[in-house]
C-alpha cells in the first residue's frame, strides 16, 4: 500500500513538473545552462548594460513573451558575441533563464 502511494505521488509530481515546463525546454540540461552562464559571464555582461545586478534586463512582460522568443534572444547573444554555442547549449541557457526569471509554462 505504501509503495503504491509513493509511486502515485512520484508520478503526480513528475506530471506536474512536465506540465509547468515549456516543451522547448523539457530536455534541457539545466546544470549545463548554469555552467555556461557562469563561464560566458552572462550576468556580468547584462549588469554592465543595466542598473544593479543585471536582472533588470529580464522583463517577462516585455518583448520576450514566449519560450521560443527567449531562446531566440539567447541565440542572438551567441551570434553577436561569437560564443560558438551549440543549439542544445543555447536551449540550456534559455531554460535556466526561464526557470529563474520568466516562468513560462
Separation of alpha carbons 53 and 64, rounded Å = 19
Question: What is the model's pLDDT at position 5?
Answer: 52
3-state helix, strand, coil in the chain (%, to 5): 70, 0, 30
Closest by CA to 35, choosing from 81, 83, 100, 92, is 92
Range of the domain at 91: 2-102
Q: Quote the cell numbers at residue 1.
A: 500500500
Question: What is the model's pLDDT at position 7?
Answer: 52
Cβ proximity of 28 and 92 under 8 Å:
yes
Which one is predicted more confidently, 72 or 51? 72
Task: Find the mean pLDDT for residues 23-28.
Answer: 95
Which one is predicted more confidently, 43 or 31? 31
| Number of structural domains found in the chain | 1
Mean pLDDT across the chain:
84
Task: Find the mean pLDDT for residues 2-21.
Answer: 54
Amino acid at each position: 500500500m505504501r509503495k503504491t502511494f509513493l509511486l502515485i505521488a512520484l508520478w503526480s509530481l513528475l506530471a506536474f513538473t512536465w506540465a509547468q515546463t515549456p516543451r522547448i525546454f523539457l530536455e534541457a540540461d539545466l546544470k549545463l545552462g548554469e555552467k555556461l552562464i557562469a563561464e560566458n559571464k552572462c550576468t556580468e555582461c547584462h549588469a554592465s548594460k543595466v542598473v544593479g545586478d543585471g536582472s533588470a534586463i529580464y522583463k517577462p512582460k516585455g518583448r520576450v513573451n514566449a519560450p521560443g522568443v527567449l531562446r531566440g534572444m539567447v541565440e542572438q547573444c551567441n551570434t553577436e558575441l561569437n560564443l560558438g554555442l551549440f543549439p542544445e547549449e543555447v536551449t540550456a541557457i534559455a531554460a535556466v533563464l526561464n526557470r529563474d526569471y520568466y516562468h513560462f509554462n
